[in-house]
Amino acid sequence: MNPTNPKDRLEARQGDITALAVDAIVNAANSSLLGGGGVDGAIHRAAGPDLLAECRTLGGCPTGEARITKGYRLPARYVIHTVGPVYRGRPEDRRLLADCYTNSLDLAREKGVRSIAFPAISCGVYGYPMEDACKIAVDTCSAYLAVHDLPEKVIFVLFAADALEVYRRRIL
């Protein structure tokens, strides 16, 4: 157990997640794991075609679960693909989104990942309100870090300045 405040191991930054030289980046994928738009498209473009070839061997991924691949041409060693819920305002949306974070962190820890970066899962095409999703992301990761030494560091990477502000306020 790490005695420090888990929030000291959380950080929010603005930018493009594909540029980050961390041990693992998380992809907000769909259940086919065969690519798409948004951050998924950006990750596949930057990683190159070998990423899609490995994803094809995985047989998809249910909502809330996660799968891990290599990072290929990315600076990150691994990509963890997770499938967020399409937001419908149901109670299970919250649980499924929290599961995305916990299951991604479990896979990272199994591989000895020290630094991991998350995008705002479900906050684009899948329509999750940023404030609610941020609360779930920060609180779930914070609770996880309170009981695990790995990953040492979790970075939330936000595309937009207003999203960054929402995260910064929650982490303080």
**Distance in Å, CB of 25 to ligand AR6, minimum:** 9
3-class SS of residue 137? helix
3-state secondary structure 35-48: CCCHHHHHHHHHHC
Residue with tokens 């929010």: 12
**Distance in Å, CB of 42 to ligand AR6, minimum:** 4
Q: Quick one: 45 or 70, whose CB is closer to ligand AR6? A: 45
Q: Quick one: 29 or 107, whose CB is closer to ligand AR6? A: 29
Q: Which residues bind ligand AR6 (CB under 6 A)?
A: 16-18, 28-30, 36-40, 42, 84, 119-126, 157, 159
Cβ atoms 63, 126 nearer than 8 A: no
Other Cβ atoms closer than 10 A to 91: 7
Give the angle subtended at the CA of 79 by the CAs of 76 and 80, to the nearest 5°: 140
Q: Quick one: 29 or 145, whose CB is closer to ligand AR6? A: 29
> What is the spatial distance between Cα 2 and Cα 20, in angstroms, rounded to a whole number?
25
Q: Quick one: 150 or 164, whose CB is closer to ligand AR6? A: 164
Partner residues linked to 117 by β-bridges: 25, 155
**Distance in Å, CB of 115 to ligand AR6, minimum:** 16
**Distance in Å, CB of 154 to ligand AR6, minimum:** 15
